[in-house]
Amino acid sequence: MKKINTKPLLKAESIAKRYGATNALIDANLKVHPGRVHVLLGENGAGKSTLLKTLVAAVKQTSGRITFEGEAFQAKNVQEAMACGVVPVYQHLSLFPNLSVHENLSAFALAEREMQNVRRCLIEVEQAKASLLSVGLSVPLDTLVGSLSIGERQLVEIARAVGQNCKLLILDEPTSALTSTETDKLFSIVRDLCAQGTAVLFVSHKMDEVAEIADDVSVLCDGRTVVDCVQYSDTNESELLEAMLNAPVTSFKRQLPVHSNEIVLRAEGLKVSRNSNVSTLHAKKGEIVGLAGLVGSGALSIAEALAGARQISDGRITINDVLLMPGDRAEATKKGVGYVPGDRQTHGLFPILPALTNASASLTKQLDRFGFLKKNLEIETFEPWMEKLKLLPFDFELPATQFSGGNQQKIIVARNVALPHLSVLVLLEPTRGVDVRARQFIHDTIVEAAQSGATVIIASTDLDEVLSLSHRTYVIKDHCVCAQLTEGATRQCFIDALFSQSERAVA
């Protein structure tokens, strides 16, 4: 293993970033050395993307210092950062599918010109070919980018960055859409670039990739750097994983209600994506079943499928022995399947409608008389739930955007627990971005729903949440169930389950 013997190219010291009342970053540090691959690890919401945004000057940090090549980093926006040699390659690609590879490679040059012949503004054919070659891509220059695969597009984007005199290449979860062959290719290119002296910052949450590519590792957890630029050879996977999952709030063990033995929900031969293995799972009346997995494991996709919010590739889901049409939420709601989506902003809330309308969104059928919503009926239905959830401010007429994240989540939870024939309640990341007190109320409500006979499915990347709330937990990896944990399982059990499984897969 190479030793760190150079000064860091980029150094970020005690970066903090506050958005309103939430602290996205509290104390983040980062040192990236030229010619080395630095992997930044962290779960969703750990602050990785916020840290990246400060590095490319897309957001201004609240406090903290960034130095680049020994001097204070002055870039005011992304263009200036790129001109300095800090080039980000995002998950959502920033190429133009309708233009040719050559035109895409020349995009920076084109941006500076106006009424001129395009051909005279494109970069030299030789130069374009050379930069494509440097990423191991051999496609004709006039190929439309839209006809390339996602992996090839990413390579074009890296080629463009290389042609831009890139000193620090930032790859934000670059492998999330790649096949394993494409990933291998990407890794070998990253190593080549490093050999030529480019620094690479590689953001990821996949442990197996880290082992393959990392020279140095940093781990971010809840806005703080918990592992600061350690050589990968000096550490190991389970150490990093524990650092990554270390949550400051230790939840107390709660008494879960007794459940019956009657199986309500059954999924057989379930495949949520074409390439995944089949999963079989079931849940009983009054039982709380957890789906736990790392980010990208597919736990959320499986939960979406169980709620009828997602098309599945194969398999059948039944509720009380009645087949559930996959991907048909309207039908699922009629069968009493409540669903709290993972992203409340885009999939849950109607931001400018009042809280009450938001809450009653899924049961207008029960609340209307001849097409008119009966307001007193709405209030009667929701007031008890809102009181239990301690909605703050306790004002049903306030538009949803005026509530904090935790209270918005309470509204969505109330919408679902109030369903008249609630048989199954599926919750995705029920307390993501929610403060500790609201988390407590939401958890209480979930347990209460189970007590009154509903089957509850919780899919979350927040391990503590799943393990402390569930009677039984399925461990999800690569979009399928790989192990099962019983009530009272610890974080270590989960980590063991993940690793024993991957060893079995290797052997």
Partner 1 sequence: MHISPANKAELRALMVPGAGLVGLGVIFGYLAPNFLTTGNLLNIVTQMSILVLVAIGQSFVLSTRNFDLTLGVVVALASAVCAIAVNSWGSTAYLVAPFVGIVCGMLTGCLVGMLGIQPVVATLGVLIGLRGVAFLVTGSGQVVPLADRGFATWAAYSNVFGLPPATWFVCGLCVLALWIAKRSVLGKKFVMTGERREAAQLVGIRCEHVVWKSYILAGFFAGCAGLVLLLRAGTGLPSEGVGMEMQAIAAAVIGGTLLSGGYLRIFGTIFGVAFLQTLLTGLNLIGTSPFVAQIATGAVILAAGVLEGAVKNTSEVGA
Is 78 one of the binding residues for partner 1 (CB under 8 A)?
yes
Residues 196-215 that bind partner 1 (CB under 8 A): none
Is 179 one of the binding residues for partner 1 (CB under 8 A)?
no
Nearer to partner 1, 79 or 311 (CB): 79
Question: What are the φ/ψ torsions at residue 27 (nearest 5 degrees)?
Answer: -150, 85
Is 274 one of the binding residues for partner 1 (CB under 8 A)?
no
Residue span binding partner 1 (CB under 8 A) among the ranges 110-118, 279-287, 310-318, 399-407: 110-118
What does the DSSP assignment read for 338-382?
A: EEE-S-IIIII--TTSBHHHHHGGGGHHHHEETTEE-HHHHHHHH
Tokens of 281: 């799972």
Among 82, 295, 456, 482, indicate the residue that binds partner 1 (CB under 8 A). Answer: 82
Nearer to partner 1, 6 or 147 (CB): 147
Q: Any idea what the Cα angle at residue 410 is, between residues 405 and 415, rounded to 5°?
A: 130
Distances in whole angstroms, Cα of residue 434 to Cα of each of 139, 408, 450, 499: 48, 9, 21, 30
Sign of the Cα pseudo-torsion (503, 41, 495, 290, in order) = negative
Residue span binding partner 1 (CB under 8 A) among the ranges 11-19, 67-75, 104-112, 266-274: 104-112
Is 178 one of the binding residues for partner 1 (CB under 8 A)?
no
Show the binding pattern over residues 442-481: x = contacts partner 1 (CB under 8 A), - = does not: ----------------------------------------
Nearer to partner 1, 115 or 322 (CB): 115
- 């209307």: which residue's tokens? 368
Is 110 one of the binding residues for partner 1 (CB under 8 A)?
yes
Nearer to partner 1, 111 or 133 (CB): 111
Is 323 one of the binding residues for partner 1 (CB under 8 A)?
no
Buried b or exposed e, range 260-277, using 16+ CB within 10 angstroms: eeeebbbbeebbbeeebe
Among 115, 249, 506, 507, indicate the residue that binds partner 1 (CB under 8 A). Answer: 115
Nearer to partner 1, 79 or 277 (CB): 79
Size, binding site for partner 1 by CB under 8 A: 30
Is 97 one of the binding residues for partner 1 (CB under 8 A)?
yes
Question: What letter would DSSP give residue 399?
Answer: B
Is 392 one of the binding residues for partner 1 (CB under 8 A)?
no
Residue closest to 265 by CA, chosen among 291, 241, 226: 291
- How many C-beta neighbours within 10 Å does residue 284 have? 17
Nearer to partner 1, 98 or 165 (CB): 98
Among 63, 74, 79, 311, indicate the residue that binds partner 1 (CB under 8 A). Answer: 79
- Shortest gap between Cβ of 112 and partner 1 (angstroms)? 7
Is 177 one of the binding residues for partner 1 (CB under 8 A)?
no
Is 100 one of the binding residues for partner 1 (CB under 8 A)?
yes
Residues 124-153 that bind partner 1 (CB under 8 A): 142-144, 146-147
Is 107 one of the binding residues for partner 1 (CB under 8 A)?
yes
Residue closest to 156 by CA, chosen among 145, 146, 147, 166: 145
- 């990208």: which residue's tokens? 296
Tokens of 144: 């439309």
- Compute the distance between CA of residue 48 and CA of residue 58 in angstroms, rounded to an integer: 14
Is 116 one of the binding residues for partner 1 (CB under 8 A)?
yes
Look at residue 488 and give its three-state secondary structure: coil
Residue closest to 137 by CA, chosen among 119, 158, 122: 158
- Shortest gap between Cβ of 94 and partner 1 (angstroms)? 4
Is 376 one of the binding residues for partner 1 (CB under 8 A)?
no
Q: Are 317 and 307 in contact (CB under 8 A)?
A: no
Site for partner 1, rule CB under 8 A? 78-79, 82, 93-100, 103, 107-108, 110-119, 121, 142-144, 146-147
